[in-house]
């Protein structure tokens, strides 16, 4: 699989919506907790593959704002314990693979003991220069935009800028992800055809790959298959493909023009 990939067309940033832990467990008549445990194992397989192929940025939708608000408190508490365990037990593996970890989301709302482990893992991997693994925790794209606009408005008022002077680049600077490129490829597991409030601003021109495979069964090889599919596509960013001639509307007779 590695040899089938074109090193000149590798994505710089892959984002993944990790979905299907509960269904994986349900199909095996297991409690949802077991699905989450297997999902955490899948994370490390994918991270290590990203490191081996030299993927600069990998962002995983680990825990949404909606998860925090709408799931049973016992499940949320289990997910927090699982996150603490992952951050404690996998730092050495991340260092061995030259992986740096960071986070986006309203992380200040997470329990202090979780944030302490987050700080520990971030500091312990800070000097690594390979793949940057970003965990989206207590994250929602709409809340990200709200936070960005609040900061932008405060700065506009402080600096006395006119609203007409605000550009897309200004908004980008206030996003959680301002320091990283937008995703080239978004992968969603479990076959669901929606983006679930994930990186709404950033995926405006992102290629999307959906697989029926549930997240606990997802491995690095499956990410490489998604990248191979991505490399077969032609990214147009709203323009025309090379060699495609645009219609010369001005040369058409008036009676042939459709309004």
The reply to whether 248 belongs to the active site is no
Q: Give the sheet arrangement for strand 185-188, strand by strand.
A: 100-104, 132-139, 57-64, 13-17, 185-188, 207-210
Torsion on CA atoms 42, 47, 52, 57, rounded to nearest 10? 140
Catalytic residue among 19, 68, 182, 184: 19
Catalytic residue among 6, 21, 67, 229: 67
Q: What does the alpha-carbon distance between residue 128 and residue 176 come to, in Å, rounded to a whole number?
A: 21
Q: What does the alpha-carbon distance between residue 214 and residue 39 come to, in Å, rounded to a whole number?
A: 9
Task: Give the chain's domains with CATH numbers.
Answer: 8-140+182-234 (3.40.1180.10)
| Residue 103 DSSP symbol | E
pLDDT value of residue 172: 96
* Chain-centroid distance, C-alpha 65: 14
SS3 72: coil
Torsion on CA atoms 18, 113, 134, 90, rounded to nearest 10? -80
Residue with tokens 């893992």: 121
Quote the tokens at residue 97. 């693979």
Quote the tokens at residue 232. 């077969």
pLDDT value of residue 43: 97
Considering the entire predicted model, what is its pTM? 0.90
Phi, psi for residue 244 in degrees, rounded to 5: -90, 125
The reply to whether 19 belongs to the active site is yes
Q: What does the alpha-carbon distance between residue 185 and residue 11 come to, in Å, rounded to a whole number?
A: 7
In the chain, which stretches have pLDDT less than 50? 258-259
pLDDT value of residue 252: 56
């Amino acid at each position: 699989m590695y040899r089938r990939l074109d090193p000149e067309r590798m994505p710089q940033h892959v984002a993944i919506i990790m979905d299907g832990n509960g269904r994986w467990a349900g199909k095996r008549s297991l409690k949802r907790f077991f699905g989450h445990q297997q999902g955490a194992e899948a994370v490390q397989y994918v991270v290590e593959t990203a490191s081996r192929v030299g993927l600069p940025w990998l962002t995983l939708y680990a825990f949404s704002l909606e998860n925090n608000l709408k799931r049973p408190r016992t499940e949320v508490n289990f997910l927090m314990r699982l996150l603490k365990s992952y951050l404690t037990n996998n730092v050495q593996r991340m260092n061995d693979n030259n992986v740096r970890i960071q986070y986006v989301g309203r992380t200040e709302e997470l329990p202090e003991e979780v944030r302490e482990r987050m700080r520990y893992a971030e500091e312990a991997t800070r000097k690594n220069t390979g793949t940057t693994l970003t965990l989206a925790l207590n994250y929602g794209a709409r809340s990200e935009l709200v936070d960005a606009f609040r900061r932008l408005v405060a700065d506009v008022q402080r600096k006395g800028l006119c609203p007409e002077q605000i550009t897309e680049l200004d908004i980008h600077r206030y996003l959680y992800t301002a320091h990283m490129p937008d995703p080239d490829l978004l992968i969603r597991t479990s076959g669901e055809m929606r983006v679930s409030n994930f990186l709404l601003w950033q995926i405006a021109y992102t290629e999307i790959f959906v697989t029926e495979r549930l997240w606990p069964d997802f491995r690095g090889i499956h990410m490489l298959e998604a990248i191979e599919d991505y490399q077969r596509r032609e990214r147009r960013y709203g323009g025309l493909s090379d060699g495609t001639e645009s219609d010369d509307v001005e040369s058409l007779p008036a009676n042939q023009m459709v309004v």
